[in-house]
Structure formats: structure tokens, C-alpha cells
Structure 1
Amino acid sequence: MNNKPKYHLFKNTKYALSGLKHVLKTESSFRLELFCAIFIIAGIIIIDASLTNKLILLVSGILVLIIELVNSAIENVVDLVTKEYAPLAKTAKDIGSTAVMFSIILHVVCWVLVLI
């Protein structure tokens, strides 16, 4: 059984924007990271670094947002599957959080290396 609708650029964009609207409304971590991204982008523009280094900082910063979105999706699916405490559900959520943490560490390391 395949419940996937046919690909349609405008419908898929609508789905993506719906997901963004939901995450902005429900996920405080994503809102905080998005708020920080404003200052990070300003910092990238201001610093005296090569275009390559600026792109590395930009990509690693956007990666944090992407991983946070994936983590939110994991948490939503886990919550859909089980409402009560389950060790595997906790593990899935913890692993998603670890991915976010690693992406933030990577971004910080990129900043340190570019600024040195």
C-alpha cells in the first residue's frame, strides 16, 4: 500500500511550510536556535574571513537547524507511537538530542577554527 501522493512542487512546498509553521509554534528549541541564527548570520557577514570560511560557518549553522527539525520529527513520531514511558522511546529521543548537540559542537568548532 502506497499512501504517498504524487510529487507536486506547490503542494510539497505547502507541506514544508506547514511543517515550519508547526515547529515554530511548538518547538522552543528551534525558535531559540533560529533567533541565534540571526546573530550568527550577522557575525558571518561582519567577520574578516574568506568566502570559503564564511560558507563553512553558514552551512554548519544551517545544519544545526536541520538536525533540530529532524529531532523534532523523531520526537513527534515517538509521541505518536507511545504515550507512556518506554525505554526505547526515551533512547530514540535522547539520540535525536545527541545529534543536535553534535551539530552545535561542530558549529562552535568551525567558529573557533575560522577565528584562530
Structure 2
Amino acid sequence: MDWNAKDQQTEKNTCFLQSFGHAVDGIKVVLERERNMRFHLLATLVVIAGGLWLGIGRSDWIWITISVFIVVVAEFTNTMVEAIVDLIVGETYAPLAKVAKDVAAGGVLVAAGTAMIIGSLIFLPYIFPLLGWK
């Protein structure tokens, strides 16, 4: 996305395709700018590969899918909060800006931690027998 383009849209979207295009631009921004989002994407690919290899059940896939998307939404929200705060305060330090950014980042941490717990509850019962544990 070209941040300095002269023809930036300022009015409401006029059709679904225009809205869809902006949504895709948003996804690109998060993937390009946020290292942690790329890490979450890699972790998701590892989880999918592990789930396929272990043959996890349908309800397990549902929980994995929900967990992944909660983390993704948290990361998108964190990126959005950071962008809005930076827009408002610029390069100036503001204690409330720090609070907003820290809370948003904390939300990602809580989401990722919860996803790890859910993943452990799902995968460990499949992994333990492979290790000879009951």
C-alpha cells in the first residue's frame, strides 16, 4: 500500500468490490508490517501440519480454528490501535498512548496464551501415546 499516494480515497466505499479491496489492503499491511503476525501465520501452518499428521478429530479442528482466528483478530486489533495512536500522538511521548499500546499488545498475549493452552489440551493426548506415555 502506498502511504503517500495523492489519490487517497476520502469518501465512503461505493461498492462491495471496493470494500473488499480495502480489506485485502488491510491484511497486506498487517502481514508486511507486523513481524508477530508472520510468526502467528507460521505457527498456524505448523499446527495445521501437526493436526493433519496426528489425524485430530473434527471438534478439535473447530477449537483450533477458533483459537487461530482469535489470535489473528487480536493481532489486527493491536495493529489498528498502534496506527491510531501513532496518528494522534506522532513522535511525541504520551503516557496514555503507551497504555493503549500496552493493553492492545496484552490482548494479543492473552489470546496467544489461551490458544497455546487449547492447543496443548488438543495435541498432548495425541502425542503422549506416540511417546509411550499414557
TM-score category of the 2 structures, normalised to the smaller one: 0.7 to 0.9
Distance in 1 of aligned mates of 2:120 and 2:38: 24
Residue aligning to 2:3 = none
Compared CA separation, residues 113 and 62, structure 1 to 2 (3 A): same
Q: Percent identity?
A: 27
Shift of 1:63: 1.4
Task: Return the match for 1:34 from 26, 29, 41.
Answer: 41
Q: Does 1:58 align with 2:68?
A: no
Q: Does 1:44 align with 2:51?
A: yes
Distance in 2 of aligned mates of 1:73 and 1:98: 14
Structure 1 length-normalised TM: 0.88
Residue aligning to 2:23 = 16
Deviation beyond 6 Å, 4+ runs, structure 1: none
Q: Which runs of 5+ in 2 are unaligned?
A: 1-9, 126-134
Query: Of Structure 1 and Structure 2, which has the larger fraction of its residues in helix?
Result: 1
Q: Does 1:109 align with 2:117?
A: yes
The size of the alignment, in residue pairs, is: 114
Distance in 1 of aligned mates of 2:60 and 2:11: 40
Compared CA separation, residues 25 and 46, structure 1 to 2 (3 A): same
Give the aligned CA root-mean-square deviation in angstroms: 1.7
Structure with the greater alpha carbon radius of gyration:
2
Structure 2 length-normalised TM: 0.77
